Copies of this chain bind each other. A is one copy, B any other.
Amino acid sequence: MTTYTVANLAERLDARIEGDPGRKITGVAPFESAGPEHLSFCETGSFRGDLPETNAGALLAPPALVLKKSQTTLLRVENPRLAFTQMVPLFHPTTLEEADIHPTAVIGHGAKIGKDVTLDPHTVVGKNVHIGAGTSIGACTVVAKGAQVGRDCQLGSSVYVDGNVHIGDRVVIQTGTRIGCEGFGYVPTPEGAAKMPQIGGCRIGDDVEIGANCTIDRGTLADTIIGARTKMDNLVHVGHNVTIGEDCIIVAQVGLAGSVRIEDAAALGGQVGVAGHITIGAGAQIAGQSGVIRNVPPGETQGGYPAQTQKKWLRTSAAAMRLPDIIRRLVRIENQLKEQLGSAGEQDVSEDTTD
């Protein structure tokens, strides 16, 4: 069992210790369930009101945070969550399987397979595919004729990579995701929809991570592009000719229609939909379930349908909640005026009040 003293950990993090530096830590655990042998972490604002007690043997905590008296030893760091992500691998080292080409893997003529590549059972690597050194490919995954996959990538099981796709280095593609699907492009004709040929491809930048069961369409003539370090959650749809910048965050079940442009470091919440040919500016943030049908300026936070600035959105939503009250007050005013003016008014108030 891996064991570190609090002093060992503090040294790695350049953390200030409050408590017993010799205390032995053998694992990591969540704040609530951690025991005396565990390292855990907390953040300012993690909890409403007082921070509850924890039995964690050691706790990564921000400089200012005051804890109730407890047996825990504190390691003071600027960013406890980040520090925690750095400590977890000490106790859970990734067990590197020995690279291996399984005998059931099918490899086409002219495929170039780099050093230390893992091909799990029933993988299919088409003709003239290039797979960079250190890349591992999950079982039943299909990389079609001519595709390029970089170094140290991890493709899960049952993934599909189309032939006209170029994947960078250190890219993670989770199980069931489809890269380079045929885009949804038809031209209406009297005899029904005529298909627009989709002869473009996809380019996936370095260090991109894509969740499970996503669908990324290839471009019509040019390429669909996902910029370096962009992270995508599960069940996301990316239409043909979409361009996503670098360092973007795309949460689960987002749908991007054709030719959408997402600029660098933009963040889209879960289930957001973006209409065709829309641009979302650099650093913009879109609230979950929003529908974006107009371009979003860089840096702006928007929400709602149609998406508008957060300030307008929140004020409009708040006002909408008060609508029944508004109608009541409107009717009262109309009645006051009727009495005043002795005029019958033009509408049947009783009917208007039925909501």
Chain B residues with CB below 8 A from A88, complex form? 196-197, 199
Interface range on chain A: under 10, 10 to 19, 20 to 34, or 35 or more? 35 or more
Interface window among A66-74, A109-117, A128-136, A170-178: A170-178
CB A58 to nearest CB in B, in angstroms, measures 15
Alpha-carbon distance A158/B181, docked complex (angstroms): 13
Complex CA–CA separation, A194 to B209 (angstroms): 12
> How far, in whole Å, are A324 and B178 apart by their CA atoms in the complex?
45
One digit per residue, 1 when the CB lies within 8 angstroms of any chain B CB and 0 when it does not, for chain A 175-193 equals: 1101001101011010011
A174 touches which one: B181, B317, B321 (CB < 8 A)?
B181
Find out whether the CB atom of A221 lies under 8 angstroms from the CB atom of B320: no
Minimum CB–CB distance for A16 against chain B, Å: 20
- Residue pair A178, B212 in contact (C-beta under 8 Å): yes
A344 at the A/B interface (Cβ < 8 Å)?
A: no
Partner of A184, one of B239, B252, B275, B319: B252
> In the assembly, what is the distance between CA of A110 and CA of B81, in Å?
37
Cβ of A120 < 8 Å from any Cβ of B?
yes
Asked whether, in the complex, the Cβ of A158 is within 8 Å of the Cβ of B142, the reply is: yes
Contacts A124-B122, A327-B319 known; A257 to B270 CB distance under 8 Å?
Answer: yes
A235 within 8 Å of B (CB atoms): yes
Of A2-10, A17-25, A26-34, the segment with at least 4 beta carbons within 8 Å of chain B is A26-34
Residue pair A291, B291 in contact (C-beta under 8 Å): no
- The verdict on A319 contacting B324 (CB below 8 Å), with A122-B124, A273-B288 known, is yes
Known A122-B124, A257-B270, A330-B330; further 4 A-B contacts with Cβ < 8 A: A30-B221, A82-B194, A122-B122, A140-B142
- List the 4 shortest-distance A-B pairs measured between CB atoms, nearest first: A319-B323, A215-B234, A106-B121, A88-B197
